[in-house]
Chain A
Amino acid sequence: ETGVTQSPTHLIKTRGQQVTLRCSSQSGHNTVSWYQQALGQGPQFIFQYYREEENGRGNFPPRFSGLQFPNYSSELNVNALELDDSALYLCASSFTNYGYTFGSGTRLTVV
């Protein structure tokens, strides 16, 4: 049984650019959530996908968008990057709403 894997592990982007982060869910998991963890803070909920549909969203602007694919892998897209978007982005998967497993995250730096 594989865990949750995220790619890339580190990324540097320029302000104004777009970025796509990827997540491969744990086998058998059909729900994925994305979190942003700024330095010294706890993770903040961005959104959740269940069976390819967004079914919950946190307080993030529309330039944060996502996709979940039929194999339950997922993407987080961020447009028009801002310096404050620099953070660790965590993906978590589960079977429905029970028992989330987190990936190790993607460290995004916006310069």
Chain B
Amino acid sequence: DQQVKQNSPSLSVQEGRISILNCDYTNSMFDYFLWYKKYPAEGPTFLISISSIKDKNEDGRFTVFLNKSAKHLSLHIVPSQPGDSAVYFCAASGTSYGKLTFGQGTILTVHP
């Protein structure tokens, strides 16, 4: 039972353009959502999060949008840079940043 799904295994974007990574969830008890970035041979690094009481959170080039009725969240990266190339995981929690349920990940490649 995959409670958090990232349906796009990979995404390729030109440098300077927008990257949009999507994530769907099924468990209505989730109330915190996070995005992590992972480079090879490193652990996941926290990027940005959003509480279910909000529909948008912005941090520099990164913006996360949450649509609770659709059980969908997305991460926008503008402008995309080659250094953003990594695997991106969305994760959800039912208790503030407690046990995290991860999606399968999306490989983002930003071409110069």
Contacts and interface: CB of A to CB of B under 8 A. Distances in A.
Nearest to A55: B98
Interface stretch (B13-21, B41-49, B50-58, B68-76): B41-49
Interface residues of B, number: 22
7 contacts: A33-B100, A42-B4, A90-B43, A90-B44, A98-B97, A102-B44, A104-B43
Interface of B: 4, 6, 36, 41-46, 89, 91, 95-105
A97 B98 CA distance: 5
Nearest to A42: B102
Question: What is the interface of chain A mostly: helix, strand, loop, or mixed?
Answer: strand
Contacts, number: 55
Interface residues of A, number: 24
A44 B41 contact: no
A97 B96 contact: yes
Contacts of B101: 45
Interface in A14-43: 33, 35, 40-43
B42 A104 contact: yes
